[in-house]
Amino acid sequence: MSDLKKSLKIAVIPGDGIGLEVMPYGIKCLEAAAKLYNLDLQFESFDFASCEYYKKHGDMLPKDWKETLSCFDAIYFGAVGLPDVVPDHISLWGSLLQFRRVFDQYINLRPCRLMPGVKCPLANRKPGDIDFWVVRENTEGEYSSIGGRIFEGTDREFVTQETIMTRIGVDRVLKYAFELAKTRPKAHLTSATKSNGISITMPYWDERVKEMQSHYPEVRTDKFHIDILCAHIVQKPDFFDVIVGSNLFGDILSDLGPACTGTIGIAPSGNINPEGKFPSLFEPVHGSAPDIAGKGIANPVGMIWAGQMMLEHFGFKDAAGAMLKAIENVLAAGRSDVITADMGGEGDTASFGNAVEKEILSMKP
């Protein structure tokens, strides 16, 4: 944001499954950071964008959802989806994808960072070796809804879905990525492409990267085809700093990156409208996890880290730094009675979330 403000209005949408369980600890940690740095965070909770709401109302969102949420600075989102209750294409397209498109959250931002205390699946890697960002185009590209099927169930069956790339859509995600790279010590940007096989849209993407690069001479820029890029991320993740890709390629890379850091269960994500014309949305990437929902054992770090991303986005660098340091300290301590089973511990959501909150409050501003 261009103008730093000391208060934020935050719409809280816990959603489904473990979203309901981890959200309280995300809020507690945000409130701890706010107390430490004298921020005014105003939370208001909503029950829509959940399958329970769908069961009651026959829709994932109320008619006036846009008007309701537009007055907030940010949306703090838990998870959506209970496929045994509501088909995923209904729950997702009826909620989260609505937010992304209607609120023009055209940036999906995801950190890929090897944290202390987390066992890395890649050999001989330690904290500091893996620390890059994936910037994904979030509203067009390969995930357009333009297409259809005809002659279903016959030999003539025909299926098509269009990739849509607009100059404004491509340029604005590239600009965001270059601006982010410019702030990083490495000042290095990598573009994900496949122009040797996708002969129209991907050469266009490459052209726009080259044009945008001319405005950022201080940023070292390279490009790799998506297949070899995935291999390079596994083989030499320390090479990367900021990676930018289309909706599909960014989607793939933003799961691969956190997986290389040991657990996708603690990864956060931002769906961002950089200009602030609409609220941005911050969420963990772990989903609703129906298999463990209700057991109180979900890892809350992704939810807490998403809150940290939210504070950083709005310019609260010190508070965001304290939250990230607290997460790192609790993970590094590795107490088995604190951390959850997904990370080899015997703790639960409450023990993990409370430990991070306590660590934040123990810090000096």
Res. 145 pLDDT band, cuts 50 70 90: confident
What is d(CA 32, CA 28) in angstroms, rounded to the nearest whole number?
A: 6
- Given this model, what pLDDT does residue 263 score? 74
Can you tell me the mean pLDDT for 298-327?
97
| Residue 149 contacts residue 309 (beta carbons within 8 Å) | no
Q: How far is CA 192 from the centre of its chain?
A: 18
- Given this model, what pLDDT does residue 5 score? 58
* pLDDT > 60? residue 103: yes
Percent of all residues in the chain with a pLDDT value above 70, rounded to a whole number: 99
- Given this model, what pLDDT does residue 3 score? 43
What is d(CA 205, CA 261) in angstroms, rounded to the nearest whole number?
A: 28
| Residue 210 contacts residue 251 (beta carbons within 8 Å) | no
What is d(CA 330, CA 340) in angstroms, rounded to the nearest whole number?
A: 12
pTM, full prediction: 0.94
What are 109's strand-pairing partners?
135, 270
| Residue 102 contacts residue 281 (beta carbons within 8 Å) | no
* pLDDT > 90? residue 262: no
- Given this model, what pLDDT does residue 2 score? 36
What is d(CA 127, CA 122) in angstroms, rounded to the nearest whole number?
A: 12
* pLDDT > 70? residue 322: yes
What are the pLDDT digits (tens) for 202-243?
Answer: 999 999 999 999 999 999 999 999 999 999 999 999 999 999
Can you state the angle between helices 201-213 and 167-182, rounded to 10 degrees?
Answer: 40
Long-range Cβ pairs for the range 222-225 (8 Å, 24+): 222/188, 222/189, 222/190, 222/191, 223/190, 223/191, 223/192, 223/193, 224/190, 224/191, 224/192, 224/193, 225/193, 225/194, 225/195, 225/196, 225/197
Computed over every residue of the chain, the mean pLDDT equals 95
Residue with tokens 């959506």: 80
Neighbouring CB atoms inside 10 A of 255's CB total 16
Can you tell me the mean pLDDT for 254-273?
92
- Given this model, what pLDDT does residue 75 score? 98
What is d(CA 191, CA 217) in angstroms, rounded to the nearest whole number?
A: 15
**Which candidate, 65, 59, 28, places its Cα nearest to that of 46?**
65
On the 0-12 / 13-18 / 19+ scale of CB atoms within 10 A, 71 is: exposed
- Given this model, what pLDDT does residue 341 score? 93
* pLDDT > 50? residue 284: yes
* pLDDT > 60? residue 1: no
Alpha helices in the chain (DSSP H): 19-37, 51-57, 65-70, 88-93, 96-102, 167-182, 201-213, 226-235, 247-260, 301-313, 317-333, 349-361
Residue with tokens 């200009």: 275
Res. 6 pLDDT band, cuts 50 70 90: confident
Taking the CA atoms of the chain, what radius of gyration do you get in angstroms? 20
| 6-32 as b/e: b if 16+ CB within 10 A | eebebbbbbbbbbbbbbbbbbbbbbbb
* pLDDT > 50? residue 43: yes
* The two structure tokens encoding residue 298: 């979900």
What is d(CA 337, CA 347) in angstroms, rounded to the nearest whole number?
A: 5
| Residue 340 contacts residue 297 (beta carbons within 8 Å) | yes
Q: Residue 229 corresponds to which amino acid?
A: L
What is d(CA 352, CA 360) in angstroms, rounded to the nearest whole number?
A: 13
- Given this model, what pLDDT does residue 361 score? 97
What are the pLDDT digits (tens) for 56-90?
Answer: 999 999 999 999 999 999 999 999 999 999 999 89
- Given this model, what pLDDT does residue 4 score? 54
Q: How far is CA 197 from CA 43, 194, 245, 256, 276, in A?
A: 48, 6, 16, 22, 37
Can you tell me the mean pLDDT for 165-174?
98
Q: Residue 178 corresponds to which amino acid?
A: F
Can you tell me the mean pLDDT for 6-35?
96
Can you tell me whether residue 281 is helix, strand or coil?
A: strand
